[in-house]
Chains A and B, each alone.
Chain A
């Protein structure tokens, strides 16, 4: 079994699977059970300032998007930060950390954007013995209306300022949690780095309306006939999260900044993908909320099996391995030519590829009287749509043409060398190839 031990910012944990700051980490009872179930670490549910705690709605706070058989694909919530007294949380954090010294315990914090507020809470958090803090600049609902959460995360100057305060008044690692509700994730990430952040974590939830009740026209979840945008998470957000992670991982200004990946991590494979894009740990919320704490068992066994198969002895062997392969469109090899190929033995003749290509793509699939579907190489542009709609995994594959072969669609001979848009003759900005 591969060793899943992780060292992130000097914080050790037996595996890279942390529970994200959310209901699963809202109290001692949960966190103890999570650690017993095998989670490597937790980011405690976000703490607010001293004083009367926030209040939550007393009606439904979640909405959902389902796949077949009510498989939960996306969850949305209008929950706020912890609604329990600060003191209670701090006492519990200290007790849990003392009992689980080998696990990562990070404290998430969100207080108003005033230096005094941060200055007063940080020493109290430090006293708990927790391993670090995470600044919640992400929450897109409720708290943002009060100038916190995403309202800070959307203004790079604030991120930098608050991060600097934290680095000033707190000794241990500071992780800045980013909101995806922004046009270009690199700006807040750069601000965090400039403020001295030890790492960023992302993504927090995405502003969303999951559904509308068509009887009373209230968005869901509905509170007395009205709804508010909530934060979207779960499997549906993973592609968005991974892109944002990759953008930060490959940005020259933030390259090398440690990342804790969050957003839709549900299986070992999701985790491996996030980690290959540069994440030292991953955080999980929805998967735990959907299936309970014991999902981590599968994540651990799956990741270590894959590592064994690949011959990786430590997570460091593959963290960031995919980053060099993320590039801009303009650098993709335009000399690479592929064609779709249908494996007739696997084909079940549903005709979906035909409908897709004929109606919406390039009319490159033929259909015979007796329902044999074949790709016409002289029309196929290799768009991959047929592969994506075919119900049989592996039935249609994209086969690369070899250099020297002639592409029957364009009549051009496939070149062995690499050539991209920057030098393409159709590009008015093309730099002459010297």
Chain B
């Protein structure tokens, strides 16, 4: 029997397995062929298409949609994958409402863009369902490249290098490849074990070895990598988390949202995953929204996102905000945590109202208390474990336009590197572009 939403504390099994299965189903279900044909027909095949410009990997969107329209989704997939080897995952997780679909001329015309993301998924799913890998490797170059971190940036870089004939070894600290695709993305965005299946499919190109449990900084050094390989690409993401700096942060029930999400993504049985009755998520980005929505979907009674700035300043898109609201998550703006109350475990959180005009956040002195047996910190991830000797740009590894770091022979991309938004698609673009630059250097 399910525990129900009202059960106090942090408990597992609030909902029945059926309810959980329905809750964590595909956010945007796959198109049936006829739906895809109708959706594809809406595309105007724009000249110098704004959607393509808005895509960080610059997929030829009008072309791939036309290929769907003419009955060749596999060819469409090839068009996509040539630019973005993780086009399948990006189709699921890209915030299209702030990327291609925001730029689509039909968004301007009628507020209803061509559903580029779903069409992309239709194409890539069709191709991947055939189980074949569409690309082959160039003649062996005899060069070896080390990639550190098997997230989207590392995988995209490795794939492109392998395609160009180089041999790649990916050193990955975790026991599974995929990075945040596997451990971070909301469960309802990549259902059915897609992240893992996509990695397996990607590796079919050949020439890529993934060494799991091999962490830079733990036995493995950059100097050693530079000595052993012809080039090194760092794509270690942001493994650290920011501290809350509120009293009572150490109480039981307070934890990092990313850890909770990782646990959720790896849970074989969601009904065994505990969640609070009253959940408060601190933060305003995608992580905060995902933690809140998934808490709600697990059966928490009250879930609140507490963000210290205004709605307009929120990192999560309006679509994400509305998604959360539609699931029953309460969004609070201009509140910041001052203390977590309770004996050993969290019981309440105290928030102070703020003004956030002009960038800086100032408390107004007025506070409010919310019941909170579980508090998730989603106030940003930070670079952790970057090797010594690399120049930083703010809190990230400094890179130039082609991904070169300050150290010769070392490139970096994805969340750990400067430039671009912290998105899967950006990581793919940076990994791919670094690979092209590495290739140019190795071929010189």
Contacts and interface: CB of A to CB of B under 8 A. Distances in A.
Contact of B109 (A70, A355, A367, A392): A392
Contacts of A352: 44-47
A371 B50 contact: yes
7 contacts: A68-B41, A348-B106, A348-B108, A349-B50, A350-B44, A351-B47, A367-B48
B434 interface: no
Size class of the contact patch on chain A: 10 to 19
Contacts of A351: 46-49
Contact of A348 (B34, B37, B105): B105
Interface of B: 34, 37-38, 41, 44-50, 105-106, 108-109
A69 B109 contact: no
Nearest to B108: A348
B105 A349 contact: yes
Contacts of B50: 349, 371
Given A70-B34, A349-B50, A392-B109, 13 more contacts: A68-B37, A348-B105, A348-B106, A348-B109, A349-B105, A351-B49, A352-B46, A352-B47, A354-B47, A367-B47, A367-B48, A371-B48, A391-B109
Contacts, number: 35
A348 B44 CA distance: 11
A68 B39 CA distance: 9
Contacts of B45: 352
Interface of A: 68-70, 348-352, 354-355, 367, 371, 391-392
Contacts of B105: 348-350
Contact of B44 (A68, A367, A371, A391): A391
B35 to A, nearest CB: 10
A18 to B, nearest CB: 34
Which 5 pairs show the lowest CB-CB distances between chains A and B?
A351-B47, A68-B41, A355-B47, A348-B109, A348-B105
B108 A349 contact: yes
A345 to B, nearest CB: 12
A69 B41 contact: yes
Contacts of B109: 348, 391-392
A355 B45 CA distance: 10
Contacts of B34: 70
A349 B53 CA distance: 13
Nearest to B106: A348
A70 B49 CA distance: 26
A135 B153 CA distance: 74
Contacts of A348: 105-106, 108-109
Nearest to A351: B47
B16 to A, nearest CB: 39
A351 B38 CA distance: 22
Contacts of B47: 350-352, 354-355, 367
B108 A68 contact: no
Contacts of A371: 48, 50
Contacts of B46: 350-352
A392 B108 CA distance: 12
Contacts of A69: 37-38, 41
A140 to B, nearest CB: 30
A349 B34 CA distance: 28
A354 B48 CA distance: 10
Contacts of B41: 68-69
A365 to B, nearest CB: 10
> Which of A68, A350, A355, A391 has the most CB atoms of chain B within a 10 A radius of its CB?
A350
Nearest to A371: B50
Nearest to A66: B37
A350 to B, nearest CB: 4
B323 to A, nearest CB: 27
A355 B46 CA distance: 9
B367 to A, nearest CB: 47
Contacts of B37: 68-69
Nearest to A391: B44
Nearest to B40: A68
Contacts of A68: 37-38, 41
Contacts of A392: 109
> Which of A70, A348, A354, A391 has the most CB atoms of chain B within a 10 A radius of its CB?
A348
A145 B34 CA distance: 39
A4 to B, nearest CB: 36
A391 B114 CA distance: 14
A361 to B, nearest CB: 14
A349 B106 CA distance: 10
Contacts of A355: 47
B13 to A, nearest CB: 45
B265 to A, nearest CB: 38
A401 B195 CA distance: 62
Contacts of B38: 68-69
Contacts of A350: 44, 46-47, 105
A371 B50 CA distance: 9
A350 B50 CA distance: 8
> Which of B34, B38, B46 has the most CB atoms of chain A within a 10 A radius of its CB?
B46
Nearest to A349: B105
Contacts of B49: 351
B38 to A, nearest CB: 5
A213 to B, nearest CB: 13
Contacts of A349: 50, 105, 108
A350 B44 CA distance: 7
A67 to B, nearest CB: 8
A371 B49 CA distance: 10
B40 to A, nearest CB: 9
A112 B218 CA distance: 96
A59 to B, nearest CB: 24
Contacts of A354: 47
B400 to A, nearest CB: 25
A13 B41 CA distance: 42
A348 B34 CA distance: 27
Nearest to B69: A68
A426 B278 CA distance: 87
A348 to B, nearest CB: 4
B111 to A, nearest CB: 11
Nearest to B110: A348
B107 to A, nearest CB: 9
Nearest to A70: B34
A351 B46 CA distance: 6
B147 to A, nearest CB: 38
Nearest to A69: B38
A243 B235 CA distance: 67
Contacts of B106: 348
> Which of B38, B41, B105 has the most CB atoms of chain A within a 10 A radius of its CB?
B105
Contacts of A367: 47-48
B357 to A, nearest CB: 30
B33 to A, nearest CB: 12
Contacts of A391: 44, 109
Nearest to B53: A371
A348 B109 CA distance: 6
Contacts of B108: 348-349
